[in-house]
Amino acid sequence: MSRFTAPIAEQIWDMKYRLKEADGTALDTTVEDTWRRIARSLAEVEAEPKVWEDRFYGALEDFKYLPAGRITAGAGTARSVTLFNCFVMGTIPDSMGGIFEMLKEAALTMQQGGGIGYDFSTIRPKGAGVKGVAADASGPLSFMDVWDAMCRTIMSAGSRRGAMMATMRCDHPDIEDFIGAKADAARLRMFNLSVLVTDDFMEAVKTDGSWDLVFDGKVYRTVQARDLWNRVMRATYDYAEPGVIFIDRINQANNLSYVETIAATNPCGEQPLPPYGACLLGSINMARLVTDPFEDAAALDVDALNDLVATAVRMMDNVVDASRFPLEAQRAEAHAKRRIGLGVTGLADALLMLGLRYGSDEAARQTERWLHAIARAAYLASVQLAKEKGAFPLFDADKYLASGTMQMMDEDVRDAIREHGIRNALLTSIAPTGTISLYAGNVSSGIEPVFAYAYTRKVLQKDGTRTEEEVVDYAVQMWREKFGDWALPEYFVNAQTLAPLEHVKMQAAAQKWVDSSISKTINCPEDISFEAFKDVYMEAFETGCKGCTTYRPNDVTGSVLSVSEEKKADAPEVVTSSDEEPQQPHGDVIYMSEPLDRPKALEGATYKLKWPDSEHAIYLTINDIIVGGHRRPFEVFINSKNMEHFAWTVALTRMISAVFRRGGDVSFVVEELKAVFDPRGGAWVNGKYIPSILAAIGGVIEQHMIAIGFLAGEGMGLKSDPQAQVVNLSGGRGKACPSCGQYDMRMVEGCMTCGSCGHSKCG
């Protein structure tokens, strides 16, 4: 019997994690083979490998502990790939040679499958003098363009493109250009952007103080802090970037503040790292640890949690020794500090099983208790490893225990560390788990709320056809199995129905016991006011979060999920002014329930449409009827010698003609056709990009309507901008998934992720 609880879980495993030969022959026959491969590989560094292999297998079994994708896909394969998810690269020197040496290191890292983060604050601003060459500097953004081009050309391990994070300090002279970079839709597409915000800056924002933009001790300009903050807020309100990182808080709370300074994070922000730091990630599946779900006695099995955490910490510590590293500096950094990032997934599902509404005060308290328990168990497990294998090389008991995070740790844990040391300098982080949560049966992702309790997913078959299957959240599936088709209780809320400040509350509750950081997206409704939007970020700062990432669906970012819109048969729009009689917007538009009779003769025009790469042209004949002295389209005929087009052209001919003959404002036909995007890509026609052949047909019909006076001009009189608008919470449809072509890209944990196939920009 399969261990998978949903078809999508097995498909994700087969596509991303199953070990196969280059020709596609499967070496992992079952998911049990995958678990055994990982367990055996990570046990090889142990004195008793067979004993630990079985224990590791037990942790992996039934998706209780989920190593990050790099480990699941790469451990035990003998492939030259890193098992670390991502890296922060070295400090970029402010010299041409140093900059391009860093570019080379980035390329080598991405080649082995690592995402990278960089702080570009160390590069002199645009216009600054360059000694010895009588020239002005081009600035950090010009070099970010070079990094972006490099990333587009290098394929990561497993045929995935790498992800990158770029940060810049809030006092860098080019910070305003950095903030607005994503306004250009074609620029820096491979980067996530975040502003490093200091405590001094936030204080200046609150007091409406001035703010110096400085580089190398020179003040280039002085601005108002609140104006600069508003620019950050406006950009992320409009484009979902840049994110905000509270960098002083990160450094103050860092267990290793005595040996490192952090200025960058990994691509999704959950791992603030020093130069050449690496993130090693894994997640406890909270949904698998709840006993008696949906009953009065429902509870998390704390003993099972403690045991699972201890085993997971040991496995992750072994990855440090088992992994390859793209650069020697990365290997040295990882071995000196043995940093790991153990997190959770399925938290929202676990809360549902206890009858708790995500975002409520009680859910926040429960989250804090669970994360506290995980932190305790992880730190105590690392102390045990230190007793057995030694503390991390840079451990200094007094300095370590005086760090920000350790000062709030339980006294018995502090005493154990003081006496025995600790194996891993940092232990907890909450990473994006979009793909591994699907692999685990579609449990809720990370600490995010459930995104959608059920949705329809289109699956591409080997013959090129697509089938549809329902994808159901893990907790919802359990509810259905237990209670049948009863309606879900009111405490079943999802990401879109939560208030933004409830998201912040949950992030802050978790952050208290996470020594690194958290990847989380705070979903905001499209109609949230700008002032309320800014309040989200201020609340994140005030409640102890280390960063903040929001997502507001709009025309630029697209919606978070595509659903259909039911169009209403509203009364015709009437345009009036104070001194004119009401006028119809499109001549004498009439609304009828019965089709218009066809006269014996009609005037019309025939148009030739040549679609690139198509052998035969398409011919459109549009005939018009005269109503009230005005011409309006009455019927259309679409013909082509291409037999592949025959069925759909006949269907389109009949459907459009039927709509035209009903009368009324038929401009929506143009609107709907022009909104069709072909996932395989459109074409350039007469110097203009057309997203599909159906959109091209819509454009021809629109031009005919303009020619006969039915429309005043291109795009005029249409109810909405005809750019692939599919509605969800009044948002538009975003880009197609580059992997499966479905319009189901959504922002999850700070990263655009496909709900249909699990493809993620960030891996």
- Residue 294's contacts (CB-CB under 8 Å, 6 or more residues apart) are 353, 355, 478, 479, 482, 483
Calpha distance 421→377 (Å, rounded): 15
3-class state of residue 668 by DSSP: helix
More confident site: 88 or 586: 88
Give the closest residue to 631 by CA, choosing from 673, 574, 589. 589
What pLDDT, in 10s, does the model give residues 148-163?
Answer: 888 877 744 334 456 8
Within the chain, all domains assigned CATH 3.20.70.20 are found at 1-85+280-520
User: Residue 725 corresponds to which amino acid?
Assistant: Q
Task: Specify the pLDDT at position 720.
Answer: 45
What average pLDDT does this structure show over 637-646? 80
Is residue 89 within 8 Å of 108, Cβ to Cβ?
A: no
Task: Specify the pLDDT at position 709.
Answer: 85
pLDDT surpassing 70 at residue 461: no
Task: Specify the pLDDT at position 573.
Answer: 30
Calpha distance 304→730 (Å, rounded): 44
Highest mean pLDDT among 538-552, 620-634, 650-664: 538-552
pLDDT surpassing 60 at residue 761: yes
pLDDT surpassing 50 at residue 593: no
Is residue 341 within 8 Å of 280, Cβ to Cβ?
A: yes
Task: Specify the pLDDT at position 731.
Answer: 33
The residues assigned a catalytic role are: 266, 268, 270
Highest mean pLDDT among 279-283, 607-611, 710-714: 279-283
DSSP structural state of residue 16: I
More confident site: 125 or 720: 125
Highest mean pLDDT among 121-130, 162-171, 195-204, 554-563: 195-204
What average pLDDT does this structure show over 450-465? 76
More confident site: 484 or 535: 535
Instruction: State the helix-helix crossing angle for 31-43 and 302-322, rounded to 10 degrees.
Output: 70
- Name the phi and psi angles at 255, rounded to 5: -55, -25
Task: Specify the pLDDT at position 581.
Answer: 32
pLDDT surpassing 70 at residue 464: no
What pLDDT, in 10s, does the model give residues 402-411?
Answer: 998 899 999 9
For the chain, percent of residues with pLDDT exceeding 90: 60
pLDDT surpassing 60 at residue 704: yes
pLDDT surpassing 70 at residue 397: yes
Q: Give the mean pLDDT of the chain.
A: 86
Identify the burial level of 52 via C-beta atoms within 10 angstroms of its C-beta, where 0-12 means exposed, 13-18 middle and 19 or more buried.
buried
| C-alpha distance from residue 613 to each of 193, 515, 616, 681, 738 (Å) | 38, 55, 9, 12, 21
Task: Specify the pLDDT at position 592.
Answer: 40
Task: Specify the pLDDT at position 747.
Answer: 72
What pLDDT, in 10s, does the model give residues 298-319?
Answer: 999 999 999 999 999 999 999 9
What average pLDDT does this structure show over 653-666? 81
Kindly report the CATH class assigned to 1-85+280-520: alpha beta
What average pLDDT does this structure show over 410-429? 98
* pTM: predicted TM-score of the whole model, two decimal places: 0.76
User: Residue 622 corresponds to which amino acid?
Assistant: I
What pLDDT, in 10s, does the model give residues 241-289?
Answer: 999 999 999 999 999 999 999 999 999 999 999 999 998 999 999 999 9
Calpha distance 276→102 (Å, rounded): 11
Instruction: Mean pLDDT check: name the lowest of 86-95, 150-159, 250-259, 392-401.
Output: 150-159
pLDDT surpassing 70 at residue 326: yes
In the structure, what pLDDT confidence band is assigned to residue 741 with cuts at 50, 70 and 90? low
In the structure, what pLDDT confidence band is assigned to residue 734 with cuts at 50, 70 and 90? low
pLDDT surpassing 60 at residue 640: yes
Residues in the chain: 763
More confident site: 718 or 77: 77
Q: Which residues pair with 164 in a beta bridge?
A: 116, 191
- The position carrying tokens 């001009």 is 713
